[in-house]
Amino acid sequence: MENDCKTLSIIVPVYNEEATLECLLEKLVRLKLVNGTGKEIVIVNDCSHDRSEGIAREVMARYPDVAIRYARHEVNSGKGMAIRTGIQYVTGDYVVVQDADLEYEPQDLNLLLDYLITSEKKVVYGSRFLERENKHSYRSFYLGGRLVSLLTNVLYRQRLTDEPTCYKMFDTALLKSIPLRCTGFEFCPEVTAKVSKAGYKIKELPIHYYPRSIQEGKKIKWYDGVEAIWTLLKYRFTK
């Protein structure tokens, strides 16, 4: 299938990521996408109070020919709200979220993108659990992710191994058609629930994963897992 000059929009939600943001943005700038696909990077600064904004603007100035869009929240509103803001800015044919913490390898985006282009499907997830070489930082996070995935499969008739994965890639028209209400980490279960209820079966492909510790800045907490479970239940039994 011909690409017809498709574009991938990469949303980067940022909150106090000065330690890794420059490296991540450099990786995205240098990333060559399959099938000649173009790219745009959409940075959403969720009211960081470190050097994240300065770093983002430095990278934008360094690469004026790269399509980089920038938005800033004046009040810290959460990852889900940052993603929702980013969705308003994207102009590409496909869209994916890329955390700024270097836990995920941007080269793996090509695996997901190639699948969407060649299969003409609307959604694909990257699974950390399908890549056997991956390690996981905390047993509690590992088990929590497995539990959320199992519950998703039971409630929504999917066959997922890694529902909480960051790498969720969509046809942009599909993602923009979903009325999201999330503000925090519940973006993942909400979008999965609503895509599932719309009748889409979600394909998974193995991706690499390099977990960081809480000391290194990992932000998700145990109660975000509880919120994920509640979100899955809520959207399964409500319109």
Interval 139-197: pLDDT, tens? 666 778 899 999 999 999 999 999 999 999 999 999 999 999 999 989 999 999 999 99
3-state secondary structure of 203: strand
Query: Does 186 map to a domain?
Result: yes
Please tell me the pTM assigned to this model.
0.93
2, part of any domain = no
- What pLDDT digit, counting tens, does each position of 107-123 carry? 999 999 999 999 999 99
Instruction: Let me know if residue 72 belongs to a domain.
Output: yes
pLDDT over 60 (residue 218): no
Tally of domains in the chain: 1
Residue 9 parent element (H or E): strand 7-14
83 part of a folded domain: yes
Considering the domain boundaries, does residue 127 fall inside one? yes
In this prediction, residues 46-59 reach a mean pLDDT of: 98
Q: Is residue 85 part of a domain?
A: yes
Domain-embedded: residue 1: no
Measured distance CA(239)–CA(163) in Å, rounded = 21
Whole domain around residue 185: which residue ranges?
7-236
Residue 4 in tokens: 């017809």
Q: What is the pLDDT of residue 1?
A: 47
CA distances from 124 to 2, 116, 142, 205 (A): 20, 7, 21, 8
**Average confidence score pLDDT of the chain:** 93
d(Cα 175, Cα 161) in Å, to the nearest integer? 21
Task: Tell me the CATH number at 200.
Answer: 3.90.550.10
